[in-house]
Structure formats: C-alpha cells, structure tokens
Structure 1
C-alpha cells in the first residue's frame, strides 16, 4: 500500500443522511474526514459523527480477530475455526431442539450495510427459523405496516418533499438531532430555514421543545401517547371546515372520503383536554396547513413508539391524502431510486405466523422484539436455545433490558457479529468481528429509497480486505454455506455468489433501473468515474406506478386500521380509566417517560468514541432525566440532584436536569446508555456509563395493532435518591 497521502470520496454510514465525505489517508492511517463539497446530494455537509468513523477504525478496543470464550477468558481463534464452530454449534442446537430453537436479532447498522442487506438473507434462510427479531419493532414498524397496506410494499414509504413545501408539520421527530429519519436529508437546518425564508412555516408537535422546535415557526406541547387523538381531530376539522382537497387522489383511492364516518366523534373540542393542545389551536393548525399551498405532515419515531403508534402513522397518511398532499410537489412524495431493490424484495407479509408464548403476530418474517426474553425463558417446544446477534445491542435498546440480560444467561450458544464486547455480545460464545464501514464497499441500498432528492453514489472500500479480516457479507455467506452443507443441501450456488459479491448485485440493479447517464445505463463503472456521486433530480409524482398492489389502487384497509378505534376509545374515554397506568394523562405522582436523542450519539457503540461523549450539557452528562420546574418543585428535586426513576419493570438512578423545554408531567431520558454491565469491554463508554432507559420500558405493553414496543408514554414515578 502506498505511503503517499491520498484522498478518497466515500459516504458516512452513521445515520440516514448519506453525507458524502472526503477521507485523507496515508498508508493505513486516516488523517482526516471532512465533508465532500462536490457531493451533489450533501454539498459538503457533515455532522460531528463523521469523524467517529476514524475513531471506530482506530479504536484499540475494537475486535479485529474472532474471539472464543473459554474458562480462561476470551481467546483469539482463526476465522476458519470460528466459522466452523459457529455453524456446527447452531446445527447441533437445531438437531437437538428443532429449527425454531435458534433466533436472530439484527440491529439498525445492518440497514447501512450493503453486504449485510444483500447477502445476510442467505444465512437467515439457511437457518430456516421463524424466530427472527430486529430493531424494527422498537422503531419504524408502524411505517412499514401502513405502507404495506396502503401502497403494497413495506418500504414504499412516501417522503416529505422538504425542498418545495410551504408548510412542514413535524410530529414526534427531531431531524436536527437525527439528520432526518425515514427522511434522508443532509443540511436539514438549512432546508428548514429555507422553508421559512420563502414565507412558509415549520411547525413542531412534541412533548419536548427539541433542537428542531427551537428553530421552528411554532411549537406545541402534546401529552405523550395522544398523537392519534390529535390526528383524528385534525381530520375531523378537514371535513367540518370543508377543507378536503382530495379530488386528484380519488381515482387511486375511491373510498377515501369514507374516512369521515370514522372521525365523526373526534372533534377538536372532545380531544383537546386529553392532548394538552387547545380546541382553537387544533383548528388553527389545520387551517394554517391547508392555506399554505403545498404542505406535508411528517411523523417519526416519537409518533411510532407509543400505544397507538400504527394508528397514528396511518392517520398522518390519511391527513396528507385528504388535504391533497400525497404525490404532490411539496407534499409527501415517492422516491425514484437508481438501484431499486423493492421490486425484488419481500413486500411484507402480515401475521402469517405468531410467537409461541403471547401469540404476537409476525410482520415481514419478524416477531416483535418485546417477546424475545419470554421466548428464551419459557420452556416447551420451540423454546429459543441459541442466538445470533448481528450488529445489535438489544440488552440496552429493547424493552425491559434486565429481563433480556437474564434470559441470555440461559442460552446454550450465542454468536455475535460485532467488533466490540458490548452489554449484549459479552454473552457470546464466539464473536465474529466484521471490518468497519470504510473498509468495505458501500452503496445505500435502503436510504436512497427515503431520500428527499434522487441521487446515486458508490463508495469503494478505502482499505483493502486482508487475509485476517472479513466483511459482514463474507461472514454471513460463509456461515450459510457451512449450514447448507451440514443439512445435506447443495452448495453449488455459493461459488457464483462469492464471485459476484454484493457490488455485482448493485450493478445489476443499476443497469436494469430507470436512469441513464451520458447515454448509457447507470452502473458501478459509471459511478466509479463519478466519485462524488450523480444528481438525478428532484422527487417526481409517481402514481400509479408507485403502487405495488396489482390493481394499482391505494388500499385504505379500514377493516385493519379503524378497528383500533375501539381500543383507543376504551383507553382514553372509559369511565374506569386508570390514569396512573395509561399514557393519556399524568396525574398524582406519575410522570410519562419519553426518550430523546443527541446529534453525537446515534448508536450505543458511538459512546466508545471520546470525541462523541466528551463535553457536558449545562454541567451535566448527556444522560440526564429532564423534568419541568413544576414537577421538580412538586417532588422537592433540585437541578443536578440524583433521582430514582421507577416503572413497573425496573428502577434507575441518574441526575435531574430541570428545564422548561419539557412539558409538565413528562420526563425524558435518552436512549442507548447504561454501560455498567460486568464483562463488557469498552473503557470510554464505561467512563460515561449513564443508565439504560430500557431498564424502565415495559415489554408487556405494546402497540397492539403492530406489536411495536411502547417506549413513549411509560408511566414512572420519581424521588430523590
């Protein structure tokens, strides 16, 4: 390898923004990472996380060789030995206990990994187990179900056309911290300011006055978990004030106006006392939205991870449709990705099988992760006896983490595809460490589908793979080939796959796609000649082509979604409502727990980067419990005082941060902390341990329509430590 300084043009994979980066190297050393000013999509934008790519690459605590747990501790082993041992162990567990005895859990970094997306499924199919789990059911599952039902494919999710809208309503989202989420959007602050500079509005509805709310035109506090009520009232107002503008969509959704009968009982007056937003405010929100011209209502994670998250996301889509803002420039629009995997991927099967213990439905071949611990702990046929963890840390990131921690201790075998010994991977018998992001080829298979503008970019690996390192796809394909061989199945096809590599699949998708560049189809070769990427233009109206249903109609699926109104009515309006154990009100000593995120801490493993965790927030660490001054006074709590927060399932102790940026009756604790488990090995993270908010979230409380976890609106009590 040359020792001269070289510049490489790659992509940051640490969040959804797809920012282009310029990486300067000398030999095997990364000298700097800055924004690529010539990247047509991100135009030089990067957030502080970009330099964490160097930190992950350099980290002396990062695992570079497979490890096996022995009586004498972790021992380095060869790749051949490790892959053979994992395949043989999984095979033996399945031979003894059945195919369902091995479960998989995939963390969200897999969505940013071309090889894991394209070749990981060969391994899952070789396992043959239905016991599959992922971060989806603690995040965006409602989005997938809504899009599957309405548009025919789980990933055909319309995206806010932020560059052309005049009114951007954000419900439960904080894109200044997330760089967008299911909205791939670099330069988000500049784009939000541009809406206001052209005379438009940015309106944020959130129980916390977030960083995004700070620069918005309006912010409205809303009680956690009541977003569905607000949306019902907003749609009621559309009909009541004769603001329906859906004529263009009726050809695709002829029963759209039938929505009126479902919302007739949900006037702004009726829901206002429960949401904390006044009747006149709700009506004004709708009238301002409809008067703006092109407008878009966008709901993100805060709107999803609550008791009625799926209904909320459905109602958001209906509100956009009824106001005439679906498939309209400046509204919700479908993307036109260059390498479109959707026609070749599963559309999302609904409830075709169920969990063994609680009978919870699967979606797209995955069970709700809230059921994982009980599937390990409950004896009987189908009991989970072994786990495969792919780039995930569910003990910190899924409900009732302590219960899952105990469950993992009962497993016969655990393998982790990870390059850290985390709170979860410390349970592994074998750890298989993949290379870091800059050491593998990259094309954003997923996030071009969610981008606010069409573009295409291929980032070749900056450092070549050595004989002692492997990418995720090599690990998964190696395990799949071994499992098929152990099961007596033919393995001839693997030779072709090893030769093709994931970039060959991307090349096929590009060549068969809708775009040409300078007279020839897009391809990997074309993109290699354009290292900064290629701009493919703004989002375009795409109905009916965007619909995956055979009849090319939008299926509103009232029988699926609107039946949840019965549960909603009982939950919020029953005379026997227990306010201390519901998410609609906060009375007595109970507060409603919500999460929050920070620009520097997208994933728990970024906490091992000193530059990502250094610095303080008003003299406090980032892992604080934010409460309103009214609640602090009520409980005799002072700023920075250590407090105890208790829920049905657990208890944590952390500093209080008193702020009027949080709604009275609400408490906010950030996600991804809790680095205090014996046996994990990342020193920087442990020095900034914090507490895990998922020691408080309840695995037994779900959005019943989808099985998604309820992380917002969890009732807790507080007191001085």
Structure 2
C-alpha cells in the first residue's frame, strides 16, 4: 500500500501526560506503518501543537520490541510455551482463587493500570480486583505524586491541583524542565511567551541550568536535595516582610498563627546559604511572587523524587496560599475531572490506611512502590503472594531492580498483561497479550485543563493482529471465571441495554445501588451489557458511560456549561468526538467553580499539616543532604531529555540524539577526572555499578551527574536481545525513600565515578 496523505486519522500522543491530539497517515506494504504524523488542529486542548517526540511513534508500533501475540505459560524449565486463552484464563483464575482460599485475596496485589494514554483498559481492573478480593494496588503515580496528593487533600480536600500558567504574571517551575518534560499544553510556546513578555516573570528552581532555566528571569540554582531549605526561606521572607495576603487568608484559611510562629524566626540568610542560592536573588523572586496577584506554580519529579519530597510539596503550597493565589485567573485551580486519578480521603491522617507488613501509608489509594519487596520477602502471614501487573514494568521501573526481581520471583503467581515481552513479563508465570495503544480504542484520564477541560476517546488506527485481546475482554473473562458475576444480572442488563439508555440506567441502578459486590464489578457489567450496543469496535468504551454519569453528578454545572445536558449526552459526545471533546467548562465563573471543589470539612484552606509543619521546624537542626568523601557525586537517576519519555518505546532508533543516553557531567568534574566527551566511566552507587559514556553539560553544578530515564531496555536485533544504555534502577535503593509518602529519592543517589581505561 502506498501512503495516501489525505487519509489522515485522528489519534493522540502517548509519551507524556498532555496526550496532544495527532493525525496519522498510514502506509507501508500492509498499511500498518505510521508513515506521517502531525498535530491535530481539531483537538480542543492541543489545537495542532506537538513537540518532536511523537513524530517517531512508529518506533512504538513497529519497532524492534519483542511483541507478545499469544498467551504464554512458564514451563518448569523456565522457558515459555504458547497456550490457548481458555487454558490461560482457567489456570490463572484457579491459582488466584486458591491463594484467596488459603491466605485471603488481600495478599494478591495489582500493579499498573496503563502507561501514558493507555488507561481505558486498566479501568476494568477494578472488577478483577473485586472478583478475587485483592487488597492493595500501586502504580507509577506512587513513585512520584502520592506525597503531593496527601498534601493537597489535607489542605484543600482535593487530591489534584494544578495552576493556570498561561495567564500567570509569575510562573514558577520547581524541579521541572518543561522544555523537555512538557506536562501542560503548548509547553515550549508558553515558556517562550512568558520569557518574552516584560510584564511577566519566569522563575525556575532547579540544580541544573536547564533549557527552561536559560529562558528564566530568575534561576534559583539550588543545591541538589536542599529545596526544603530554599522554600522555607522563601516563606520566611513572605512572613517577615509582611508580603502575605492577610485579608484573603482571614476569609479563606485556618492555621495562619502557627505558620507565622514557625517561619517568623527563620534565619533567611542561613537557609539560603544551605540551599546554595544568593539571598538577594531569593528575595527578588519572593517579592515578584508577593506583588503579582497572579502566581502559578508547577512542581514535578525533580523535587517529588528527592529528599524531603512531601515536605517540599507542602512548602510549595504554602507559598502560593499565603499570597492568595487560588481560584483566580493565573493562579492555582482544582479542575473538574472525568475520572479521578487519586482519591482524596476524608480522614487525612497519614496512617489512616496502611500496608499489611510494613505499615506504610496508603495515599491516594496507592501503596508506596518502594515497599513492595518488603511486603513480599518476609514470613509475615499477610505477605503478598500474587501479583497482577498490567501495562507496567516494575522489574525495570521501580527502585533497586535486583531486589524487585527477587521479590517478583518469590511470588506464588505473577500474571502480566502487556504488549511486549518486558523485563517483568520475562519473570511471569503467565503473560497475556494485549493490542498496542493504536490497535484499540484508547483514552487518557490525565485531564487537567482549566477552565475548559478536555477528554479524548480515540478510535483505533489499526486492527489488532490475531491473538491479543483488549484488556477489557481479558478482565471480563477473569471475572467470569471467578464465578463472581451473576449471569442473571448480566442478562437483565443486556436486555435493558437493547431497550435504550433510559431503561438501561434504571436497570443498572437497581442492580448496583444496594449490592456492593455488583457495584464493584460494574466495569465488566457495562462491558458485557452496554458494550455490544456501542458502535463497532467501541465495546471497551462502555466503561466511560459510568464515568460520564459520575462526572455529571460531581460537576453538573460545569458539564452542562460545556453543552452536555446529562451524563448520557456527555457519553454520546465522547463517542462522537474523535478529536476530543470539552467535557467541562468553568469559564463563566472560574473562582466559584474552584471553591465548590474545596472539600475540607469547614470549606477553608487548612494551612497546617501537623507532621509537615514539625518537619519544617526540624530543618533548623537537620543535616542537609550532600555528597560525602566516599560518595563525592550526587546522581540524578532518570533525567528527561529530548528523546526520553516513558519506557514503552524499546527501540533505541526512535531517539534522534544520544541514542545510548550518556551520563552528563560538569566541565570541571570532567577535567578533574581527565575525561573528554565520549569517554567511558564506571558509575558506582551504594546499590550497584554500571558503565556509561559521558557528555559534558555546561549547565550542571560540580558534583551533580545525571543519567536519563527510559534507558537500559532491550530490543530484538538479529534474534538477540540487545540492551541500550544504563537502567537507572540498577543503581537505586528501595530503602532510600521519603519518610512520609515512601516515594523514592531517584534524583539524589550518592555515587562515585572511575574512568574506564
């Protein structure tokens, strides 16, 4: 087939949370090549914008990954044999059921739920989770965001909070380089716009002079791991120089007296010295924030996977709350969401819910990734004995890969649902193949825009090959095999669905309202009953009918303002909107919409989180983290670069630059070690060793080195598995984690370097 350039099909990027709309022209001998890719101008969020990364997405669809096309079962010899779907589902169900009988289903955990832009199938896992009585779940979000989720929930009663960067007078990026990591629509365009506007101020807080920092008006080049001292000093300036929004706080917040007492006596100069940032520059930044009235913050992995990560999230929120930057144009907001990424608990105490072995807090509904090995490698009666992993690769992506591998091998049963034979799949007892993200209907639940928020259900670009099944079908078969699904309920709902949506809604509510078991199985009930009535190939979108009903119930005014009179109307718009649809519109009164979503018990912002306020006080006596004589370098294990994203593209040829992901080092450090670009070094941490090629980074502090994320994966080449680059988690430790949320300190790993002769 020859590519026909006017046959453009809508889809979306799958490489970061923005999921910008794309159009693809197919080509190649069988019409299965993503031959041409461009931004989709009809997408209501991205409007045709795209960075360079998705232009090479054919390397995901047709790259040299080891594709799984049939269910596989591990043999006694450790190899894999092909089995039928019937055998696979039957055996997996029997093994999960047996674990439940002997030990309780709660010792089976679920990990994953989809990579970027791959969440629709993962939504059906809730039914499998319930059918087998599973007790705990985790995902990549627990590597990064759960500390922030807890802070947000405690202060505002909402797990997810973002900022209106596009309309901010002062934009502050904390531990984030949006030039490379994006994270919000039109990132590079927006950065340039802010930098060029003399009436606006761009502030970047980062140890490295990143591409974003190069554009900044103020770059606070903090020492690695010392952000907490810097932010505490900034709050102290606000308090001591009376730059806080006193009247706004009196009306909208509680706990101000405790904040004033804690930060009023801080030695600003001393804290700035610890942070390694000039006090005058800090005061300049704080004065800009205090005077603007429209300040927007964005914190990200540079601080969320570092020392004091949860404390830093708290201090960052205090800065913009003390200056009244919530709910107005150009400030922080709480968006309407289609599907919540995390749950905001009414009981916000840290240990309201904990894991069975280590007693680690469960935040946002997720247990910390770093404690998973400890929850398995023990003789505790409630240790995890089974795991279902979906569209995730914990053997590679979680801290301390060797220890994680040991834990996965110790499970009674490990089941993996994935597209490729990943490092985790190669340890599984069963591997169940799924279509790629372009071979099935897909969606993303990272919906953060404001005041108009967008949801995109994209149709498949290609037919899936014979063998793989959509995740929705896999979960439906597992639930049916468990015996948890009542066939009579399925029959009644299927009959009602044929009669129309009104009849179906009534029947569905009757089936689930008073039956917690049926409600927990709702995703599969929808798939089996409503799904067959949907347009061809869209059966797995049935889950979104329920999501649309809940979104309308939670934010009816916003959904109606976007033109959807009911949950059903919203669902129909999602089905029809192949380039995405605005599902919520708060533009008429953004401030009122935000305050409706502040769900604290008294409707006020709670400035005090006791544990974190005490941690802020403890900074006065805490020893700041830093290199040591034994470990003279600090490694950032997982840096975003021009051609790194998540780990779904295993073929290194997708990277136009630095295909092997070199170790970046400062010019002075390279000179001291006698290194030139391209030389190899052995990098050693307390956990492991690796060899990497170096590149010189003019913007990097001495003693601060970095490896990119997304490397250390293998691909097929001439029948062999070939690994490219260093897997960062071969060098990290699961024990090195935040004391509150358990998130890893991947951005602060002590290391030493030895030139390779």
Question: Within the alignment, does 1:505 sit opposite 2:553 as a pair?
Answer: no
Question: Within the alignment, does 1:167 sit opposite 2:170 as a pair?
Answer: yes
Question: Within the alignment, does 1:601 sit opposite 2:665 as a pair?
Answer: no
Structure 2: distance between partners of 1:224 and 1:19: 32
- Per-residue deviation, residues 465-498 of structure 1 (Å, max 9, x unmatched): 6874322222223223323449999988554442
Residues 515, 525 of structure 1: alpha-carbon distance in 2 compared, 3 angstrom cutoff: same
Structure 2: distance between partners of 1:402 and 1:376: 14
Question: Within the alignment, does 1:10 sit opposite 2:8 as a pair?
Answer: no
Confirm or deny: 8 A CA contact 2:652 2:724 kept in the other structure.
no
- Per-residue deviation, residues 406-432 of structure 1 (Å, max 9, x unmatched): 232333321111111112211012111
Confirm or deny: 8 A CA contact 1:628 1:663 kept in the other structure.
yes
Residue equivalent to 2:746: 711
Q: Any idea what SS the aligned residue of 1:532 has?
A: coil
Structure 2 alignment gaps of length 5 or more = 492-517, 519-523, 531-541
Residue equivalent to 1:33: 37
Confirm or deny: 8 A CA contact 2:113 2:125 kept in the other structure.
no
Confirm or deny: 8 A CA contact 1:223 1:276 kept in the other structure.
yes
Structure 2: distance between partners of 1:279 and 1:641: 38
Structure 2: distance between partners of 1:73 and 1:373: 24
- Per-residue deviation, residues 113-145 of structure 1 (Å, max 9, x unmatched): 342353221122233233433222221112211
Q: CA deviation at 1:316?
A: 0.7
Confirm or deny: 8 A CA contact 1:310 1:705 kept in the other structure.
yes
Q: Any idea what SS the aligned residue of 2:669 has?
A: helix
Question: Within the alignment, does 1:179 sit opposite 2:182 as a pair?
Answer: yes
- Per-residue deviation, residues 199-248 of structure 1 (Å, max 9, x unmatched): 21222111122222233333232111111111110010001112112522
Structure 2: distance between partners of 1:288 and 1:495: 54
Residue equivalent to 1:458: 457
Question: In structure 2, which of residues 66, 86, 109 is the aligned counterpart of residue 103 of structure 1?
Answer: 109
Residues 288, 518 of structure 1: alpha-carbon distance in 2 compared, 3 angstrom cutoff: closer
Structure 1: distance between partners of 2:78 and 2:310: 48
Query: 273-282 or 471-480, which moves further after superposition?
Result: 471-480
Question: In structure 1, which of residues 145, 150, 153 is the aligned counterpart of residue 155 of structure 2?
Answer: 150
Question: In structure 1, which of residues 656, 660, 675 is the aligned counterpart of residue 713 of structure 2?
Answer: 675
In the TM superposition, 1:85-484 aligns within 5 A as 85-106=91-112, 109=115, 112-154=117-159, 156-157=160-161, 159-180=162-183, 185-199=184-198, 200-337=200-337, 339=338, 341=340, 350-444=350-444, 446-449=445-448, 453-463=452-462, 468-484=467-483
- Per-residue deviation, residues 175-212 of structure 1 (Å, max 9, x unmatched): 121221xxxx2221111111233321222111122222
Confirm or deny: 8 A CA contact 1:414 1:428 kept in the other structure.
yes
Confirm or deny: 8 A CA contact 1:396 1:672 kept in the other structure.
no
Residue equivalent to 2:59: 55
Residues 255, 666 of structure 1: alpha-carbon distance in 2 compared, 3 angstrom cutoff: same
Structure 1: distance between partners of 2:237 and 2:267: 7
Question: In structure 2, which of residues 580, 583, 589 is the aligned counterpart of residue 533 of structure 1?
Answer: 580
Structure 1: distance between partners of 2:119 and 2:647: 21
Structure 1 alignment gaps of length 5 or more = 573-581
Structure 2: distance between partners of 1:547 and 1:314: 17
Residues 260, 484 of structure 1: alpha-carbon distance in 2 compared, 3 angstrom cutoff: farther
Q: CA deviation at 1:313?
A: 0.7
Structure 2: distance between partners of 1:344 and 1:385: 26
Residue equivalent to 2:559: 515
Residue equivalent to 1:577: none
Residue equivalent to 1:46: 50
Residues 127, 262 of structure 1: alpha-carbon distance in 2 compared, 3 angstrom cutoff: farther
TM-score (norm: length of structure 2): 0.84
Q: Any idea what SS the aligned residue of 1:605 has?
A: coil
Confirm or deny: 8 A CA contact 1:67 1:77 kept in the other structure.
yes
Structure 2: distance between partners of 1:272 and 1:319: 16
Residues 685, 553 of structure 1: alpha-carbon distance in 2 compared, 3 angstrom cutoff: farther
| Aligned length in residues | 695
Confirm or deny: 8 A CA contact 1:485 1:491 kept in the other structure.
no
Give the CA RMSD over aligned residues.
3.2
Q: CA deviation at 1:558?
A: 2.8
Structure 2: distance between partners of 1:106 and 1:372: 13
Q: Any idea what SS the aligned residue of 2:80 has?
A: strand
Confirm or deny: 8 A CA contact 2:154 2:609 kept in the other structure.
no
Q: Any idea what SS the aligned residue of 1:89 has?
A: helix
TM-score (norm: length of structure 1): 0.88
